[in-house]
Structure formats: C-alpha cells, structure tokens
C-alpha cells in the first residue's frame, strides 16, 4: 500500500505540500478489525465511531507503519515513569 492511500483512509485527505516520492513510498497499515477510514464515514461521524482516525503512525528505518488504536485497552500498555 502507498502512504498516499494510508493517509486518505486515515484522515480523509492528503496533507498539502508532501513530497510525491514520500507519498508514493510503501507504507503498512495494521487494521485487524477492518475499521473504516474517514473517507468511508464522513466528517460528521468521525468522532462518534471507531475508525482509522484513532491510529498512530510510527516511522522506522524510513517505513511508515499506521496502527489502529481502537482494539487496544489500557492493559495493553505499560506505564513508564511518573505521571
């Protein structure tokens, strides 16, 4: 999948000014629950339904990994340091 496609699914748009080579680079999407993207929900329902809007992006060795967060609970995370 291309980064352009991931951004379109996640946010419903591609941020202006991004480099074409970056947008065409390979990207990975972890979405085991097959959550809908913003482009499938429409702007009015984004905040009321589980979607790819709630995801986190990691860049590791130049590769973009987008991880849907809806399937995670507090017990999936480890608290490090003081609050």
More confident: 11 or 19: 19
Q: Positive or negative CA dihedral for 72, 73, 76, 81? A: positive
| Count of beta carbons in the 10 Å neighbourhood of residue 7 | 20
Sequence-distant contacts of 47-54: CB under 8 A, at least 24 apart:
52/9, 52/10, 53/10, 53/11
pTM: 0.74
Beta partners for residue 58, in sequence order: 65
Tell me: the pLDDT tens digits for 14-54? 999 999 999 999 999 999 888 888 778 766 665 656 788 88
Tell me: the pLDDT tens digits for 48-77? 567 888 888 899 998 999 998 877 888 888
- Domain chopping of the chain, boundaries: 3-70
């Amino acid at each position: 999948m291309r980064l352009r496609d991931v951004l379109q699914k996640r946010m419903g748009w591609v941020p202006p000014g991004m480099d074409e080579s970056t947008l065409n680079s390979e990207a990975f999407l972890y979405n085991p629950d097959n959550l809908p993207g913003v482009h499938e929900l429409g702007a009015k329902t984004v905040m009321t339904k589980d979607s790819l809007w709630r995801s986190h992006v990691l860049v590791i060795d130049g590769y973009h990994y987008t991880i849907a967060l809806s399937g995670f609970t507090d017990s999936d995370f480890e608290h490090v340091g003081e609050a």
